[in-house]
Amino acid sequence: DAGVIQSPRHEVTEMGQEVTLRCKPISGHNSLFWYRQTMMRGLELLIYFNNNVPIDDSGMPEDRFSAKMPNASFSTLKIQPSEPRDSAVYFCASSSGDTIYFGEGSWLTVV
């Protein structure tokens, strides 16, 4: 199994630009999570989907963030417009039970 696949691994963008992060969960997993990790705030859950339906987006910081899961094998997290304080590592994870499996993360730097 290839595991959870995220792209891009690294992105540097200018403030105001749109950023799209992509995730392919493990095949057969019915839950997908987007987390953000920073030194200051640790690992925060932004949103999670169950069977492609957003269940809880209470962790999404503000309207600049949006996430979609058009099918069971693909999800996106979009930031528009991006700001320097969005700089972080964004993790996608998936699960079919209690244990969740993380991707390697997308390292975002907004300058």
Check residue 23 for interaction with other proteins (CB under 8 A).
no
Task: Give the span between the Cα atoms of 88 and 69, in whole angstroms.
Answer: 21
φ/ψ region of 31 (left if φ > 0, alpha if ψ in -120 to 50, else beta) reads beta
Residue-level length of the chain: 111
Task: Say if residues 106 and 21 touch (Cβ distance below 8 Å).
Answer: yes
Stretch near other proteins under the rule CB under 8 A, chosen from 11-19, 22-30, 41-49, 68-76 = 41-49
5 binds other proteins (CB under 8 A): no
If the CB atoms of residues 31 and 81 are measured against other proteins, the closer one turns out to be: 31
Cβ atoms 10, 88 nearer than 8 A:
no
Near other proteins by CB under 8 A, which window of 11-19, 50-58, 71-79, 80-88? 50-58
- In this structure, what token pair is assigned to residue 45? 């859950």
> Near other proteins by CB under 8 A, which window of 19-27, 39-47, 66-74, 75-83?
39-47
Which residues of the shown chain bind other proteins in the complex (CB under 8 A)?
A: 4, 33, 35, 42-43, 45, 48, 50, 55-56, 91, 93, 98-105
